[in-house]
């Protein structure tokens, strides 16, 4: 059975960017007669806003985006991440580099803007403190077919470098947590914004190391404002109130010829989604 999911971070209320991702995932699952799960990514407590998760849930309910089963809260699944880290032990090493040191020795910028780590600490910490646990990457090409964006490939060692799977402050980063959660929830289809497209090869690398299945991927264009900035709390994105007008705007953004959820489920066609990384909402 097709199983999709929506996994918001409770750093603020639902906005049009996250609504588009949620709607696409919901439609993709429902059009196949599948399940749609909800997961709250609340591991980084310092970034979580009190009450934001509840606001997100209420907005989804008002829009008719109902979910199946119990809500999964990442903060209650720490034992799963610990087990995964133990399984990755032979493929990880401690890094003692500061942000300044990484920037000074960086091999350039990855596609998502992060510094490409040059594997400085693979040979040992040399007396440095344990700042982060990194997973080794290789020179082989990681390939996958995105259902909207088409064929994708990365050479992680060259394009990203060894990346962090555990922070010195005890936080499990997104890349590992999302892989563990998707496997535990038996997610078959990941539908999300294209701002996460460049993370996918890292996640496939972790899936291979952990011996868990790789889901199908579909990345919809990220919603940007008039200045070309991705909608977010930081860019002042307005919260959605859960109206039919907002739903129609999200459907139009996804290229779907429908004005209601029932129509959209019947007519769902991922081939109509614009094949681009980012776009502004139709006026």
Higher per-residue pLDDT: 251 or 236: 251
Kindly indicate the confidence band of residue 13, based on its pLDDT and cuts at 50, 70 and 90: very high
- Mean pLDDT, residues 190-218 taken together: 98
pLDDT at 236 over 80: no
SS3 276: coil
What confidence tens digit (pLDDT) does each residue in 254-270 have? Answer: 999 999 999 999 999 99
91 bridge partner residues = none
Nearest to 114 by CA among 172, 173, 171: 173
Higher per-residue pLDDT: 193 or 233: 193
Give the separation between CA 115 and CA 109, rounded to whole angstroms: 5
Kindly indicate the confidence band of residue 282, based on its pLDDT and cuts at 50, 70 and 90: confident
Residue 134 resides in a domain:
yes
Residue 177 resides in a domain:
no
> Using an 8 Å Cβ cutoff, are 214 and 207 in contact?
yes
Kindly indicate the confidence band of residue 231, based on its pLDDT and cuts at 50, 70 and 90: confident
Are 269 and 203 part of one and the same domain?
yes
What confidence tens digit (pLDDT) does each residue in 32-62 have? Answer: 999 999 999 999 988 999 999 999 999 999 9
Are 97 and 9 part of one and the same domain?
no
For position 110, what pLDDT does the model report? Answer: 86
Q: Which region among 29-33, 126-130, 214-218 has the lowest average model confidence (pLDDT)?
A: 126-130
pLDDT at 20 over 80: yes
Are 52 and 20 part of one and the same domain?
yes
What confidence tens digit (pLDDT) does each residue in 126-180 have? Answer: 889 999 999 999 999 999 999 999 999 999 999 999 999 999 999 999 999 999 9
Give the separation between CA 25 and CA 258, rounded to whole angstroms: 16
Give the separation between CA 275 and CA 281, rounded to whole angstroms: 15
pLDDT at 65 over 90: yes
Nearest to 112 by CA among 219, 236, 253: 219
- Mean pLDDT, residues 228-233 taken together: 82
For 206: left if phi > 0, alpha if psi spans -120 to 50, otherwise beta; the answer is: alpha
Kindly indicate the confidence band of residue 107, based on its pLDDT and cuts at 50, 70 and 90: confident
Helix (H) or strand (E) holding 245: helix 244-253
Are 33 and 113 part of one and the same domain?
no
Range of the domain at 39: 3-75+182-280
Q: In whole numbers, what is the pLDDT of the chain averaged over residues?
A: 95
Residue 18 resides in a domain:
yes
User: Domain total for the chain?
Assistant: 2
Residue 133 resides in a domain:
yes
SS3 173: coil
Are 191 and 273 part of one and the same domain?
yes
Higher per-residue pLDDT: 215 or 241: 215
- Mean pLDDT, residues 202-222 taken together: 98
Are 228 and 268 part of one and the same domain?
yes
> Using an 8 Å Cβ cutoff, are 177 and 43 in contact?
yes
């Amino acid at each position: 059975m097709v199983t999709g999911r929506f996994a918001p971070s409770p750093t603020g209320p639902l906005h049009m960017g996250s609504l588009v991702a949620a709607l696409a995932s919901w439609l993709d699952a429902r059009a196949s007669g599948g399940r749609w799960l909800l997961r709250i990514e609340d591991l980084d407590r310092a970034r979580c806003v009190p009450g934001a998760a509840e606001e997100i849930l209420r907005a989804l309910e008002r829009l008719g985006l109902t979910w199946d089963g119990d809500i999964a809260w990442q903060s209650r699944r720490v034992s799963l991440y610990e087990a995964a880290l133990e399984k990755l032990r032979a493929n990880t090493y401690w890094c003692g580099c500061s942000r300044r040191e990484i920037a000074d020795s960086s091999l350039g910028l990855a596609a998502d803007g992060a510094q490409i780590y040059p594997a400085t600490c693979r040979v040992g910490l040399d007396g440095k403190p344990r700042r982060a646990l990194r997973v080794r990457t290789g020179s082989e090409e990681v390939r996958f077919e995105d259902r909207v964006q088409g064929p994708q490939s990365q050479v992680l060692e060259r394009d990203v470098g060894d990346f962090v799977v555990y922070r010195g402050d005890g936080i499990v980063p997104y890349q590992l947590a999302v892989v563990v959660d998707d496997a535990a929830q038996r997610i078959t289809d990941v539908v999300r914004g294209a701002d996460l497209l460049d993370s996918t090869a890292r996640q496939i690398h972790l899936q291979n190391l952990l011996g868990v299945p790789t889901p199908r991927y579909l990345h919809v264009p990220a919603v940007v404002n008039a200045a070309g900035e991705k909608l977010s709390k930081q860019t002042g994105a307005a919260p959605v109130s859960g109206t039919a007008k907002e739903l129609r705007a999200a459907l139009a953004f996804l290229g779907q010829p429908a004005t209601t959820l029932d129509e959209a489920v019947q007519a769902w066609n991922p081939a109509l989604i614009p094949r681009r990384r980012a776009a502004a909402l139709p006026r």
